Amino acid sequence: MLKFRPVHADDFETAAPIMKATGYNSTESSFVILYTWSGLYNGEVCIDGDTVFIRSRGRDGVSYLPPLGGDMKSALLKIAETEGNAEKIHFHSVTDRMREKLEASFPGEFEYTERRKSFDYMYLREELATLSGKKFHQKRNHVNKFLKRYEGRFEYNNMTNADIPEVLKFQNKWISMASEKEGQEALRYETTAIEKLLYHFDRFDLRGGVLRVDGNICAYCIGAKISGDTVDVMVEKGDYAYDGVYQAINKLFAENNCRDVLYINREEDIGIEGLRRAKLSYCPVELLRKYGAVWKRK
């Protein structure tokens, strides 16, 4: 029987390599995301040999992420043993590749429901870094406007530990700017997650960029490699008082901090229409589909 416990930063060295090696490229298959957001979703982990098991406890009960690493069928049987006599076992954040493995293990025993608001937006790193071609004409205009307006006054640097106090100060400023548009509770939890990220900046092998104008931060970005060919952009914040700042930080991060990958995952839109339009406007090369699944055990 699997024994689950709360996720701890010390799990990184064991769990992260297994999770990265799956190549699923979804945000949920990232240890950093698991750790930083586990408090919100009551996330728990069990590391059993070469397999990482993740489950969450919500208002609707227990839900599992399909096992990461190891043999899928054997891992599913361990979940079934843990759940005892349960006739149904629920899974979340099931990608198409995960779905294929579930079906190969127990054909026809799963029912799937598409979760559009959870789809991850996948982009070609080169396209975000260069913004070349007609489809990015408007984005280039925004970036060029920023660069021209603040010529000689802006600088972009890779984030280091020395930047963290200033980044956190800017985050608090950003909350005050965003408070009228978003719920305070969600903003506070996001800031707590960002603090956890930054506390483990080196340990989690994070990469970040800081954009300044006249020496003051106007935007920052944090990401991490979630597979051999993909970086996940976990945080991106900018001061709207600087026209074109979001287009600029997006391009500069892709250009300077993602040179070792082919893809950039900019995560889901959580069903917010404005966020969906913004993500689609960058012409994703793929929408990484996700499903909820129910295993009706036979």
Tokens for 146? 């920023």
Dihedral sign for Cα 274, 114, 98, 14, please: positive
Dihedral sign for Cα 224, 225, 226, 231, please: positive
The burial of 169, by beta-carbon neighbours within 10 Å (0-12 exposed, 13-18 middle, 19 or more buried), is given as exposed
Could you list the pLDDT tens digit for every one of the 298 residues in the chain? 999 999 999 999 999 999 999 999 999 999 999 999 888 788 999 999 999 999 998 777 899 999 999 999 999 999 999 999 888 999 999 999 999 999 999 999 999 999 999 999 999 999 999 999 999 999 999 999 999 999 999 999 999 999 999 999 999 899 887 765 555 667 778 888 999 999 999 999 999 999 999 999 999 999 999 999 999 999 999 999 999 999 999 999 999 999 999 999 999 999 999 999 999 999 999 999 999 999 998 6
Q: Which residues contact 144 (CB under 8 A, 6 or more apart)?
A: none
Query: What per-residue confidence (pLDDT) applies to 182?
Result: 57
Helices 164-178 and 184-199: crossing angle, nearest 10°?
170
Q: Cβ(58)–Cβ(12) under 8 Å?
A: no
Helices 96-105 and 72-83: crossing angle, nearest 10°?
80
Indicate the helix (H) or strand (E) that contains 54: strand 51-58
Q: For the whole model, what pTM was predicted? A: 0.95
Query: What per-residue confidence (pLDDT) applies to 176?
Result: 82
